[in-house]
Amino acid sequence: MELKEQWIAFLTILRKEIKRFTRIWVQTLLPPVITMALYFVIFGKLIGSRIGDIGGFSYIQFVAPGLIMMAVLTNAYSNVVSSFFSAKFQRSIEEVLVSPTPNYVILLGYTMGGVARGLCVGILVTFMSLIFTDLYIHSWSITLVIVLLTAMLFSLAGFINAVYANTFDDVSIVPTFILTPLTYFGGVFYSITMLPEIWQDISRLNPILHIVNAFRYGLLGVSDIHIGYAILGLMLSVVILFVISLHLLKTGKRLRA
Amino acid sequence: MSAALSIRNLTKVYDNKLEALKGISLDVMPGDFFAVLGPNGAGKSTTIGIISSLVRKTAGEVEVFGINIDTDFSQAKKFLGVVPQEFNFSMFEKVEDIVLQQAGYYGLPRDYAKTQAEKYLKKLNLWDKRDTPARMLSGGMKRRLMIARALVHEPKLLILDEPTAGVDIELRRSMWDFLREINEAGTTIILTTHYLEEAESLCRNVAIIDKGLLVKNTSVKNLLQELHKEVFIFDTAADLPPQFAIEGFDVNTIDQRSFEVQIEKGQALNSVFSILSQQNISIISMRNKANRLEEMFISMIAQSATDKKEQ
């Protein structure tokens, strides 16, 4: 398949993915905005006003980057896992598997679909957060790099989950039992400096802590972790998950008999 | 000239150790209308799955218009259009979007894809339904949608896995006409079917597969010539007499005014007519019972089973 044809195939998958999540916006775009609004009201306004400043910022300003990032990563993940698993379940994935579209184009198409939804939700939540607090951007480049790499990483993770999933239950296991706990313990609502030393060390093993803090650095300029390591770790993770996903497509794991 | 499809010693053993194909070899020439027959579980869909990349082969070689799928599957796939047995499109997508997406997966530019989608949706009487979600279509429309989708990139080889299963007679006939039309226009067609009448009516060559083995690979004409008997149905002007029989022939009375006669090889229809004249029975119509291939098929499969037992 020529490069131009591959580009058309990529755009076709991406267009289909964007059309899918915008068609069902009540299920895909609205809920995270409402959920995050509730977080802002409860943790930001009601409880936050009694907590005081963290790192020189009001509590609501401190949690805003974490909440935005939480929305980005969960939506990037759930977009790919649900879309790819539905395609597998309805067997419509065969449409692209029988075509000459190369595996890496299929993977990029679905991944960028997840990134698109992650960014859409991220932008919506950011605008919504402006109702509750002021936000400014400390570093555009770091903010954009972190948000893009995170959306890619979780889209790829969602893809791997979808490949292995046999039932709709399998689709929700990882988000419920792994992603949500890691996110809540990932420094969205607190700085790890508030924890005893042993828990600070344990928290540093949580990849979401690094993502949330790197994004917070991009917005506020404060972080509990080293930004360079966070970006490097994210890049490496994206490459590793991309290679694994490509291998799954090449071997046809749970896709080809 | 390269065969449209060339299969050599194709074998498939599934993970559960089921040996679905046991070394099948066959060639389909360009422009052919080829039938693959076989009972359920014979290996027809596995063969199609391997050709279309949805099933990984265990051993053997497959070439599509001279291109080996092991060396350049991407190029081979460009020549292929596949209509599977089960519906395999998103039920939530609109009809036109499904066809346009398929065109995109083959790298067709958007404007050209739109022209192609319109052409085939119109040909298959689905243009009025282009904005309808696929789940709202009838069973026959869904089948036609899969054909339009498979044709949008104008493949040189179209493979249909039981395309008229569950389709009413009128629609089946119109689909046959359509398939004949695109075959005459140069598309090679391979068809698997349970409707043996379909193979007899449409196809020039046939392969019979049973339990993963090729039982027969010949022309439909040759196959039918091997048939030693034919059955004719007669309709009479008046009621048949009690204990109606035709001496020397195997007769089965269907109702008071129709009966069927089995004509063995070497017997003449003239003899039947002269006996009927002697009995003052006037015939108003006569037709060949359209199950010749079916009888042949059943006898082939039975023979294949007997051969295996003897081995």
What is the DSSP annotation of chain B? ---SEEEEEEEEE-TT--EEEEEEEEEE-TT-EEEEE--TTSSHHHHHHHHTTSS--SEEEEEETTEEHHHHHHHHHHTEEEE-SS--S-TTSBHHHHHHHHHHHTT--HHHHHHHHHHHHHHTT-GGGTTSBGGGS-HHHHHHHHHHHHHTT--SEEEEESTTTT--HHHHHHHHHHHHHHHHTT-EEEEE-S-HHHHHHH-SEEEEEETTEEEEEEEHHHHHHT--EEEEEEEESSPPPTT---TTSEEEEEETTEEEEEEETT--HHHHHHHHHHTTPPEEEEEE-S-HHHHHHHHHHHHHHHHHHH-
Strands, sheet with B205-210, edge to edge from the N-terminal-most edge strand: B80-83, B157-161, B188-192, B33-37, B205-210, B213-219
CATH topology of domain B5-225: Rossmann fold (3.40.50)
pLDDT at B72: 86
Cβ separation of A95 and B84 shorter than 8 Å? Answer: no
For chain A, the domain total comes to 1
Distance CA B234, CA A204 (A): 89
Instruction: Output phi, psi for B280, to 5 deg.
Output: 55, 40
Q: List, for residues A135-185, the tens digit of each pLDDT value.
A: 888 889 999 999 999 999 999 999 999 999 988 888 888 888 888 888 888
Tell whether B86 is within 8 A of chain A (Cβ).
yes
Check if the beta carbon of residue B95 is closer than 8 Å to that of residue B137.
yes
Give me the residue from B78, B89, B90 closest to A100, CB to CB. B78
Tell whether B14 is within 8 A of chain A (Cβ).
yes
In a domain, A256, yes or no: no
Residue A30 banded pLDDT, cuts 50, 70, 90 = very high
pLDDT at B297: 67
Cβ separation of A96 and B52 shorter than 8 Å? Answer: no
Single-letter amino acid, residue A133:
T
pLDDT at B306: 67
Task: Give the domain extent around A138.
Answer: 3-251
For residue B102, which residues of chain A lie inside 8 Å, CB to CB?
95, 99
Instruction: Give the residue carrying structure tokens 């422009």.
Output: B31
For residue B73, which residues of chain A lie inside 8 Å, CB to CB?
100
Cβ separation of B101 and A16 shorter than 8 Å? Answer: yes
Series of mean pLDDT values for 10-residue runs along chain B (311 residues): 90 91 93 89 90 92 91 90 91 94 95 95 92 91 93 95 80 87 93 79 89 87 72 89 87 90 82 88 84 62 64 55
**Helix, strand or coil for residue A54?**
strand
Cβ separation of B88 and A90 shorter than 8 Å? Answer: yes
CA dihedral B51, B56, B62, B63 (to 10 degrees): 60
- How high is the ipTM of this complex? 0.86
Q: What percent of chain A has pLDDT over 90?
A: 52
Closest-CA distance, A193 to chain B, in angstroms, reads 49
**Helix, strand or coil for residue A57?**
strand
Question: Which homologous superfamily does the CATH classification assign to the domain defined by B229-292?
Answer: Alpha-L RNA-binding motif (3.30.70.1560)
- Domain map (residue ranges) of chain B: 5-225, 229-292
Cβ separation of A100 and B97 shorter than 8 Å? Answer: no
Task: Identify the CA nearest to A100 among candidates A1, A195, A189, A196.
Answer: A1
Which pTM was predicted?
0.82
In a domain, A150, yes or no: yes
In a domain, A257, yes or no: no
Q: Which residues make beta-bridge pairs with B230? A: B263
In a domain, A217, yes or no: yes
Neighbours of A80 (CB within 10 A): 30
Tell whether B112 is within 8 A of chain A (Cβ).
no
Closest-CA distance, A99 to chain B, in angstroms, reads 6
